[in-house]
Structure 1
Amino acid sequence: MLLAAPAARASTADEDAALMKACPGLAVWAAAHPHGDGAAAAADAGRVFTRPALRSALTERAAADTRVRDAAMAKGKADQAAMQAVLQVDAGNLAWLKDVVARQGFPTIAQVGAQGMADAWLLVQHADRDSAFQLQMLRTLKGRGEAAGVRKQDLAMLTDRVLLAQGQPQRYGTQFEPDAHGALTMQPVEDRAGLDARRAAMGLMPLALYRCVLGASYHLPVAH
Protein backbone atom coordinates (compact mmCIF):
# COMPACT_ATOMS: atom_id res chain seq x y z
CA MET A 1 0.00 0.00 0.00
CA LEU A 2 1.24 3.49 -0.79
CA LEU A 3 0.50 4.89 2.63
CA ALA A 4 2.74 3.88 5.49
CA ALA A 5 1.65 1.36 8.07
CA PRO A 6 1.48 2.91 11.56
CA ALA A 7 4.54 0.98 12.72
CA ALA A 8 6.58 2.56 9.96
CA ARG A 9 5.95 6.20 10.72
CA ALA A 10 6.78 8.47 13.60
CA SER A 11 3.83 9.62 15.68
CA THR A 12 3.20 12.50 18.04
CA ALA A 13 2.33 12.08 21.69
CA ASP A 14 -1.25 13.13 20.92
CA GLU A 15 -1.51 10.53 18.14
CA ASP A 16 -0.14 7.83 20.44
CA ALA A 17 -2.61 8.80 23.17
CA ALA A 18 -5.51 8.67 20.71
CA LEU A 19 -4.46 5.24 19.45
CA MET A 20 -4.12 3.88 22.96
CA LYS A 21 -7.57 5.17 23.84
CA ALA A 22 -9.08 3.63 20.71
CA CYS A 23 -7.29 0.30 21.06
CA PRO A 24 -7.33 -1.26 24.55
CA GLY A 25 -4.21 -3.30 25.07
CA LEU A 26 -1.98 -1.14 22.90
CA ALA A 27 -0.39 0.66 25.85
CA VAL A 28 0.69 -2.62 27.44
CA TRP A 29 2.01 -3.98 24.15
CA ALA A 30 3.88 -0.75 23.32
CA ALA A 31 5.53 -0.66 26.75
CA ALA A 32 6.92 -4.14 26.12
CA HIS A 33 7.99 -3.32 22.55
CA PRO A 34 9.78 0.07 22.39
CA HIS A 35 9.71 1.46 18.88
CA GLY A 36 9.93 4.66 16.89
CA ASP A 37 12.20 7.65 17.20
CA GLY A 38 12.57 7.38 20.98
CA ALA A 39 13.88 3.82 20.82
CA ALA A 40 16.26 4.69 17.99
CA ALA A 41 17.54 7.75 19.83
CA ALA A 42 18.23 5.65 22.91
CA ALA A 43 20.09 3.07 20.81
CA ASP A 44 22.15 5.79 19.12
CA ALA A 45 23.05 7.68 22.30
CA GLY A 46 26.81 8.11 22.57
CA ARG A 47 27.53 6.54 19.19
CA VAL A 48 29.92 8.04 16.65
CA PHE A 49 28.75 7.37 13.10
CA THR A 50 31.24 6.70 10.32
CA ARG A 51 28.97 8.18 7.62
CA PRO A 52 27.20 11.14 9.28
CA ALA A 53 26.42 12.81 5.94
CA LEU A 54 24.69 9.65 4.75
CA ARG A 55 22.75 9.48 8.01
CA SER A 56 21.57 13.08 7.51
CA ALA A 57 20.55 12.37 3.91
CA LEU A 58 18.53 9.34 5.03
CA THR A 59 16.83 11.46 7.68
CA GLU A 60 15.83 14.07 5.10
CA ARG A 61 14.52 11.51 2.63
CA ALA A 62 12.57 9.57 5.25
CA ALA A 63 11.05 12.85 6.45
CA ALA A 64 9.94 13.64 2.89
CA ASP A 65 8.43 10.15 2.62
CA THR A 66 6.45 10.66 5.82
CA ARG A 67 5.43 14.21 4.91
CA VAL A 68 3.83 13.33 1.56
CA ARG A 69 2.16 10.23 2.99
CA ASP A 70 0.70 12.20 5.88
CA ALA A 71 -0.67 14.70 3.35
CA ALA A 72 -2.13 11.91 1.23
CA MET A 73 -3.69 10.29 4.31
CA ALA A 74 -5.31 13.60 5.23
CA LYS A 75 -6.71 14.13 1.72
CA GLY A 76 -7.59 10.56 0.81
CA LYS A 77 -6.73 8.41 -2.18
CA ALA A 78 -9.17 10.34 -4.36
CA ASP A 79 -6.77 13.31 -4.31
CA GLN A 80 -4.63 12.57 -7.36
CA ALA A 81 -2.16 15.40 -6.71
CA ALA A 82 -1.39 14.09 -3.22
CA MET A 83 -0.93 10.54 -4.47
CA GLN A 84 1.28 11.75 -7.32
CA ALA A 85 3.47 13.53 -4.78
CA VAL A 86 3.91 10.20 -2.95
CA LEU A 87 4.93 8.48 -6.19
CA GLN A 88 7.39 11.24 -7.07
CA VAL A 89 9.09 11.14 -3.68
CA ASP A 90 9.26 7.34 -3.81
CA ALA A 91 10.85 7.46 -7.27
CA GLY A 92 13.47 9.97 -6.18
CA ASN A 93 14.27 8.06 -3.01
CA LEU A 94 14.56 4.78 -4.90
CA ALA A 95 16.98 6.20 -7.48
CA TRP A 96 19.08 7.80 -4.76
CA LEU A 97 19.21 4.67 -2.57
CA LYS A 98 20.08 2.41 -5.51
CA ASP A 99 23.00 4.73 -6.27
CA VAL A 100 24.15 4.54 -2.63
CA VAL A 101 23.97 0.74 -2.68
CA ALA A 102 25.81 0.54 -6.00
CA ARG A 103 28.64 2.69 -4.62
CA GLN A 104 29.02 1.35 -1.08
CA GLY A 105 26.43 -1.34 -0.37
CA PHE A 106 23.41 -1.02 1.87
CA PRO A 107 24.12 1.22 4.90
CA THR A 108 25.26 -0.35 8.16
CA ILE A 109 24.46 0.51 11.74
CA ALA A 110 28.08 1.58 12.27
CA GLN A 111 27.70 4.08 9.43
CA VAL A 112 24.28 5.58 10.19
CA GLY A 113 23.04 4.24 13.54
CA ALA A 114 19.68 2.75 14.46
CA GLN A 115 17.70 5.74 13.19
CA GLY A 116 19.59 5.76 9.91
CA MET A 117 18.88 2.06 9.44
CA ALA A 118 15.19 2.61 10.17
CA ASP A 119 15.14 5.41 7.59
CA ALA A 120 16.96 3.27 5.01
CA TRP A 121 14.50 0.43 5.60
CA LEU A 122 11.58 2.80 5.09
CA LEU A 123 12.90 3.81 1.66
CA VAL A 124 13.22 0.16 0.66
CA GLN A 125 9.75 -0.67 2.00
CA HIS A 126 8.29 1.99 -0.28
CA ALA A 127 10.34 1.03 -3.35
CA ASP A 128 7.40 -0.90 -4.79
CA ARG A 129 8.17 0.06 -8.37
CA ASP A 130 11.33 -2.10 -8.14
CA SER A 131 10.40 -5.33 -6.35
CA ALA A 132 13.66 -6.94 -7.51
CA PHE A 133 15.58 -4.30 -5.56
CA GLN A 134 13.37 -4.88 -2.52
CA LEU A 135 14.13 -8.60 -2.71
CA GLN A 136 17.86 -7.92 -3.09
CA MET A 137 17.87 -5.67 -0.01
CA LEU A 138 15.79 -8.16 1.99
CA ARG A 139 18.34 -10.87 1.22
CA THR A 140 21.16 -8.53 2.15
CA LEU A 141 19.63 -7.69 5.52
CA LYS A 142 18.76 -11.30 6.32
CA GLY A 143 22.29 -12.31 5.38
CA ARG A 144 23.68 -9.92 7.98
CA GLY A 145 21.76 -11.67 10.75
CA GLU A 146 21.71 -9.88 14.09
CA ALA A 147 24.23 -7.35 12.76
CA ALA A 148 21.70 -6.06 10.22
CA GLY A 149 20.61 -3.21 12.49
CA VAL A 150 16.98 -3.51 11.33
CA ARG A 151 14.18 -4.59 13.65
CA LYS A 152 12.56 -7.99 13.14
CA GLN A 153 9.21 -6.21 12.73
CA ASP A 154 10.58 -4.26 9.80
CA LEU A 155 12.04 -7.37 8.17
CA ALA A 156 8.61 -9.00 8.52
CA MET A 157 6.92 -6.07 6.79
CA LEU A 158 9.45 -6.09 3.95
CA THR A 159 9.09 -9.87 3.61
CA ASP A 160 5.34 -9.47 3.16
CA ARG A 161 5.84 -6.72 0.60
CA VAL A 162 8.24 -8.88 -1.42
CA LEU A 163 6.04 -11.98 -1.27
CA LEU A 164 2.99 -10.10 -2.51
CA ALA A 165 5.00 -8.58 -5.35
CA GLN A 166 5.93 -12.15 -6.36
CA GLY A 167 2.27 -13.13 -6.43
CA GLN A 168 2.56 -15.18 -3.23
CA PRO A 169 0.56 -14.84 0.00
CA GLN A 170 2.19 -12.76 2.70
CA ARG A 171 3.59 -14.45 5.80
CA TYR A 172 2.95 -12.01 8.64
CA GLY A 173 -0.29 -10.24 7.68
CA THR A 174 1.18 -6.73 7.70
CA GLN A 175 -0.20 -5.56 4.36
CA PHE A 176 -3.79 -4.30 3.97
CA GLU A 177 -5.56 -2.58 1.06
CA PRO A 178 -8.91 -0.77 0.83
CA ASP A 179 -11.58 -2.97 -0.77
CA ALA A 180 -14.36 -1.82 -3.11
CA HIS A 181 -16.31 -0.51 -0.11
CA GLY A 182 -13.37 1.41 1.37
CA ALA A 183 -12.70 -1.02 4.21
CA LEU A 184 -9.08 -2.03 4.85
CA THR A 185 -8.73 -5.73 4.02
CA MET A 186 -5.77 -7.98 4.71
CA GLN A 187 -4.15 -9.19 1.53
CA PRO A 188 -3.78 -12.98 1.07
CA VAL A 189 -1.82 -14.66 3.85
CA GLU A 190 -0.42 -18.16 4.29
CA ASP A 191 -1.40 -20.48 7.15
CA ARG A 192 -3.97 -18.20 8.75
CA ALA A 193 -4.18 -20.42 11.85
CA GLY A 194 -0.51 -19.86 12.69
CA LEU A 195 -0.47 -16.16 11.86
CA ASP A 196 -0.41 -14.70 15.37
CA ALA A 197 2.38 -17.07 16.41
CA ARG A 198 4.50 -15.95 13.45
CA ARG A 199 3.71 -12.32 14.22
CA ALA A 200 4.76 -12.74 17.84
CA ALA A 201 8.04 -14.35 16.80
CA MET A 202 8.85 -11.22 14.78
CA GLY A 203 7.83 -8.77 17.50
CA LEU A 204 4.58 -7.78 15.79
CA MET A 205 1.41 -7.05 17.75
CA PRO A 206 -1.47 -9.57 17.63
CA LEU A 207 -3.58 -9.29 14.48
CA ALA A 208 -6.70 -8.10 16.31
CA LEU A 209 -4.76 -5.24 17.90
CA TYR A 210 -3.07 -4.42 14.58
CA ARG A 211 -6.47 -4.20 12.90
CA CYS A 212 -7.60 -1.75 15.55
CA VAL A 213 -4.48 0.38 15.12
CA LEU A 214 -4.88 0.42 11.33
CA GLY A 215 -8.50 1.50 11.55
CA ALA A 216 -7.79 4.20 14.12
CA SER A 217 -4.75 5.47 12.18
CA TYR A 218 -6.42 5.66 8.78
CA HIS A 219 -9.93 6.45 10.06
CA LEU A 220 -11.28 3.60 7.96
CA PRO A 221 -13.25 0.46 8.76
CA VAL A 222 -11.19 -2.74 8.83
CA ALA A 223 -12.63 -5.97 7.43
CA HIS A 224 -12.42 -9.15 9.55
Structure 2
Amino acid sequence: MARRHEALIQQNGPGTDTVLRDQLLAMKQQDQEARGFRAGSTGLQGQIATNLASIDQDLTDQLKQIFYAKGWPTIRLVGIDASNAAMLILTHTPDHAWQRSILPQLETLADSGKIDGSTLALVVDKELVATGQLQRYGSQFKFVNGAMAMYAVEDPASLDQRRAQVLLPPMDVYRDMLEHIYHLKASNQIVSATPPAAK
Protein backbone atom coordinates (compact mmCIF):
# COMPACT_ATOMS: atom_id res chain seq x y z
CA MET A 1 0.00 0.00 0.00
CA ALA A 2 2.83 2.36 0.87
CA ARG A 3 4.53 1.59 -2.45
CA ARG A 4 1.29 2.24 -4.34
CA HIS A 5 0.86 5.53 -2.47
CA GLU A 6 4.36 6.62 -3.48
CA ALA A 7 3.80 5.47 -7.06
CA LEU A 8 0.68 7.63 -7.34
CA ILE A 9 2.64 10.63 -6.05
CA GLN A 10 5.46 9.95 -8.52
CA GLN A 11 2.99 9.57 -11.37
CA ASN A 12 0.96 12.69 -10.60
CA GLY A 13 3.23 15.03 -8.66
CA PRO A 14 2.50 17.03 -5.50
CA GLY A 15 -0.41 19.03 -6.93
CA THR A 16 -0.54 22.39 -8.66
CA ASP A 17 -3.44 24.19 -6.92
CA THR A 18 -2.15 24.91 -3.42
CA VAL A 19 -5.13 27.09 -2.48
CA LEU A 20 -7.60 24.32 -3.31
CA ARG A 21 -5.35 21.79 -1.59
CA ASP A 22 -5.44 23.80 1.64
CA GLN A 23 -9.21 24.22 1.37
CA LEU A 24 -9.77 20.48 1.00
CA LEU A 25 -7.46 19.65 3.90
CA ALA A 26 -9.34 22.14 6.09
CA MET A 27 -12.62 20.51 5.01
CA LYS A 28 -11.24 17.13 6.00
CA GLN A 29 -10.26 18.43 9.40
CA GLN A 30 -13.78 19.80 9.92
CA ASP A 31 -15.27 16.45 8.86
CA GLN A 32 -13.05 14.50 11.24
CA GLU A 33 -13.48 16.81 14.22
CA ALA A 34 -17.25 16.60 13.78
CA ARG A 35 -16.88 12.82 14.13
CA GLY A 36 -14.78 13.03 17.29
CA PHE A 37 -11.33 12.68 15.71
CA ARG A 38 -8.66 15.20 16.57
CA ALA A 39 -5.68 16.12 14.40
CA GLY A 40 -2.69 13.94 15.18
CA SER A 41 -4.71 11.31 17.06
CA THR A 42 -5.04 7.71 15.95
CA GLY A 43 -8.43 6.99 17.48
CA LEU A 44 -11.72 8.46 18.54
CA GLN A 45 -10.99 11.22 21.05
CA GLY A 46 -14.03 13.45 21.31
CA GLN A 47 -17.79 13.50 20.92
CA ILE A 48 -19.68 13.38 17.65
CA ALA A 49 -21.11 16.80 16.82
CA THR A 50 -24.81 17.21 17.48
CA ASN A 51 -25.12 19.06 14.15
CA LEU A 52 -23.24 16.42 12.14
CA ALA A 53 -25.91 16.26 9.41
CA SER A 54 -25.66 20.01 8.90
CA ILE A 55 -21.86 19.86 8.73
CA ASP A 56 -21.97 17.03 6.18
CA GLN A 57 -24.41 19.01 4.05
CA ASP A 58 -22.24 22.13 4.19
CA LEU A 59 -19.11 20.18 3.24
CA THR A 60 -21.04 18.52 0.41
CA ASP A 61 -22.12 21.93 -0.90
CA GLN A 62 -18.50 23.11 -0.85
CA LEU A 63 -17.34 19.95 -2.63
CA LYS A 64 -20.02 20.38 -5.31
CA GLN A 65 -18.86 23.96 -5.93
CA ILE A 66 -15.30 22.69 -6.37
CA PHE A 67 -16.42 19.84 -8.62
CA TYR A 68 -18.51 22.02 -10.93
CA ALA A 69 -15.81 24.71 -11.13
CA LYS A 70 -12.70 22.55 -11.53
CA GLY A 71 -13.74 18.93 -11.93
CA TRP A 72 -12.94 16.22 -9.41
CA PRO A 73 -9.84 17.07 -7.33
CA THR A 74 -7.26 14.71 -8.82
CA ILE A 75 -3.85 13.98 -7.33
CA ARG A 76 -2.24 16.01 -10.12
CA LEU A 77 -4.41 19.02 -9.21
CA VAL A 78 -4.23 19.03 -5.40
CA GLY A 79 -1.87 16.25 -4.28
CA ILE A 80 -2.81 12.83 -2.90
CA ASP A 81 -3.76 13.90 0.63
CA ALA A 82 -6.18 16.59 -0.53
CA SER A 83 -7.56 14.36 -3.28
CA ASN A 84 -8.26 11.70 -0.65
CA ALA A 85 -9.80 14.39 1.57
CA ALA A 86 -12.31 15.13 -1.19
CA MET A 87 -13.18 11.42 -1.33
CA LEU A 88 -13.69 11.37 2.44
CA ILE A 89 -16.20 14.22 2.13
CA LEU A 90 -17.97 12.31 -0.65
CA THR A 91 -18.09 9.19 1.55
CA HIS A 92 -20.05 11.14 4.17
CA THR A 93 -22.34 13.09 1.82
CA PRO A 94 -26.08 12.88 2.44
CA ASP A 95 -26.63 13.44 -1.31
CA HIS A 96 -26.54 9.85 -2.52
CA ALA A 97 -28.05 10.74 -5.90
CA TRP A 98 -25.09 13.04 -6.67
CA GLN A 99 -22.66 10.53 -5.22
CA ARG A 100 -24.11 7.83 -7.48
CA SER A 101 -24.08 10.09 -10.55
CA ILE A 102 -20.34 10.76 -10.41
CA LEU A 103 -19.19 7.22 -9.52
CA PRO A 104 -18.54 6.23 -13.18
CA GLN A 105 -16.28 9.26 -13.63
CA LEU A 106 -14.44 8.50 -10.40
CA GLU A 107 -13.96 4.85 -11.36
CA THR A 108 -12.40 5.99 -14.65
CA LEU A 109 -10.04 8.32 -12.75
CA ALA A 110 -9.08 5.52 -10.35
CA ASP A 111 -8.46 3.07 -13.21
CA SER A 112 -6.07 5.57 -14.81
CA GLY A 113 -4.21 6.28 -11.57
CA LYS A 114 -5.43 9.88 -11.29
CA ILE A 115 -7.05 9.29 -7.87
CA ASP A 116 -6.48 6.72 -5.12
CA GLY A 117 -8.67 3.67 -5.82
CA SER A 118 -8.62 2.54 -2.18
CA THR A 119 -10.51 5.65 -1.09
CA LEU A 120 -13.02 5.23 -3.91
CA ALA A 121 -13.76 1.69 -2.68
CA LEU A 122 -15.19 3.18 0.52
CA VAL A 123 -17.53 5.41 -1.49
CA VAL A 124 -18.68 2.44 -3.58
CA ASP A 125 -19.50 0.46 -0.43
CA LYS A 126 -21.21 3.42 1.21
CA GLU A 127 -23.45 3.88 -1.84
CA LEU A 128 -24.31 0.18 -2.04
CA VAL A 129 -25.25 0.09 1.65
CA ALA A 130 -27.29 3.29 1.32
CA THR A 131 -29.36 1.65 -1.41
CA GLY A 132 -29.85 -1.58 0.54
CA GLN A 133 -27.44 -3.69 -1.51
CA LEU A 134 -24.53 -5.97 -0.62
CA GLN A 135 -21.31 -4.03 -0.22
CA ARG A 136 -18.31 -5.00 -2.35
CA TYR A 137 -15.22 -4.34 -0.22
CA GLY A 138 -16.40 -4.86 3.36
CA SER A 139 -15.58 -1.35 4.53
CA GLN A 140 -18.94 -0.46 6.09
CA PHE A 141 -19.91 -1.49 9.63
CA LYS A 142 -22.85 -0.73 11.90
CA PHE A 143 -22.88 -0.32 15.68
CA VAL A 144 -24.93 -3.19 17.15
CA ASN A 145 -25.17 -3.94 20.89
CA GLY A 146 -21.97 -2.09 21.72
CA ALA A 147 -19.90 -3.67 18.95
CA MET A 148 -19.30 -3.18 15.23
CA ALA A 149 -21.04 -5.57 12.82
CA MET A 150 -20.14 -5.69 9.14
CA TYR A 151 -22.78 -5.09 6.51
CA ALA A 152 -23.19 -8.14 4.28
CA VAL A 153 -20.87 -8.39 1.26
CA GLU A 154 -21.18 -9.91 -2.18
CA ASP A 155 -19.18 -13.13 -2.67
CA PRO A 156 -17.60 -13.27 0.82
CA ALA A 157 -15.11 -15.97 -0.20
CA SER A 158 -13.23 -13.59 -2.51
CA LEU A 159 -13.52 -10.49 -0.31
CA ASP A 160 -9.82 -10.22 0.56
CA GLN A 161 -8.93 -10.71 -3.09
CA ARG A 162 -11.18 -7.81 -4.10
CA ARG A 163 -9.75 -5.67 -1.30
CA ALA A 164 -6.21 -6.40 -2.48
CA GLN A 165 -7.11 -5.25 -6.00
CA VAL A 166 -7.94 -1.77 -4.66
CA LEU A 167 -5.03 -1.79 -2.17
CA LEU A 168 -7.10 -2.25 0.98
CA PRO A 169 -5.68 -4.44 3.77
CA PRO A 170 -7.08 -7.92 4.49
CA MET A 171 -10.25 -7.98 6.58
CA ASP A 172 -8.54 -9.25 9.75
CA VAL A 173 -6.14 -6.31 9.62
CA TYR A 174 -8.98 -3.90 8.84
CA ARG A 175 -11.03 -5.17 11.80
CA ASP A 176 -8.05 -4.61 14.11
CA MET A 177 -7.70 -1.08 12.73
CA LEU A 178 -11.39 -0.34 13.38
CA GLU A 179 -11.15 -1.64 16.94
CA HIS A 180 -8.14 0.59 17.57
CA ILE A 181 -9.88 3.65 16.11
CA TYR A 182 -13.29 3.25 17.71
CA HIS A 183 -12.32 1.40 20.90
CA LEU A 184 -15.08 -1.15 20.19
CA LYS A 185 -14.97 -4.82 19.28
CA ALA A 186 -15.55 -5.75 15.65
CA SER A 187 -17.89 -8.72 16.04
CA ASN A 188 -18.44 -11.55 13.57
CA GLN A 189 -22.09 -10.56 13.23
CA ILE A 190 -23.28 -9.72 9.72
CA VAL A 191 -26.12 -7.25 9.22
CA SER A 192 -28.19 -6.53 6.14
CA ALA A 193 -28.40 -3.08 4.61
CA THR A 194 -31.90 -1.62 4.63
CA PRO A 195 -33.27 -0.40 1.29
CA PRO A 196 -34.41 3.23 1.39
CA ALA A 197 -38.08 3.77 2.03
CA ALA A 198 -40.17 4.28 -1.10
CA LYS A 199 -41.27 7.87 -1.61
Report the TM-score when normalising by structure 1: 0.71
Q: Paired residue for 1:84?
A: 50
Distance 2:52 2:96 in 1: 17
Corresponding position of 1:182:
146
Moved more, 107-116 or 52-61: 107-116
**1:50, CA displacement in angstroms?**
3.5
Paired position in structure 2 for 1:29: none
Contact 2:24 2:85 in 1 (8 A): yes
User: What's the counterpart of residue 125 of structure 1?
Assistant: 91
CA distance in structure 2 between the aligned counterparts of 1:70 and 1:142, rounded to whole angstroms:
30
Match of 2:124 among 159, 166, 170: 159
**Equivalences for 1:68-147 in 2 at 5 Å?**
68-71=34-37, 73-75=44-46, 82-127=48-93, 129-147=94-112
Query: Structure 2: how far apart are the matches of 1:48 and 1:209?
Result: 29
1:67-118 CA-partner distances (Å, limit 9, x unpaired): 2222594355xxxxx3324323211110111122222322222221212211
Report the count of equivalent residues.
181
Which residue of structure 1 lines up, in the alignment, with residue 24 of structure 2? 58
For the 8 Å contact 1:157–1:174, the answer to whether it is kept is yes
Once residues 120 and 15 of structure 2 are traced to their aligned partners in structure 1, the CA distance between those partners, rounded to angstroms, is: 23
Aligned to 1:197: 161
The alpha carbon displacement at 1:132 in A equals: 1.4
Asked whether the 8 Å contact 2:160–2:171 carries over to 1, the reply is yes
SS state at 2:187 partner? coil
User: Counterpart of 1:178 in 2: which secondary structure?
Assistant: strand
**2:164 partner letter:** A
Please tell me whether the aligned partners of residues 110 and 117 of structure 2 are also in contact (alpha carbons under 8 angstroms): no
TM-score (norm. length: structure 2):
0.80
Which amino acid in the other structure matches residue 196 of structure 1?
D
**Which structure features the higher share of helix residues?**
1
**Preserved CA contact (<8 Å) 1:196 1:207:** yes
How far residue 47 of structure 1 moved from its aligned partner, in angstroms, is: 4.5
- The one-character-per-residue Cα deviations of 1:126-147 (angstroms, maximum 9, x if unpaired) are 11x1111212232211122444
Q: Give the gaps of 5 or more residues in structure 1.
A: 1-32, 77-81
Q: Which moved more, 1:158-167 or 1:46-55?
A: 46-55
Structure 1 counterpart of 2:191: none
Residue 2 of structure 2 aligns to which amino acid in structure 1? P
Contact kept, 8 Å, 1:141 with 1:148, in 2: the verdict is: no
**2:154 paired with 1:173:** no
User: Which structure carries more strand by proportion?
Assistant: 2
The yes-or-no answer on 1:34 pairing with 2:18 is no
- Structure 2 residue runs of 5 or longer lacking an equivalent are 39-43, 189-199
Q: Secondary structure at the match of 2:149?
A: strand
SS of 2:36's equivalent in the other structure is: helix
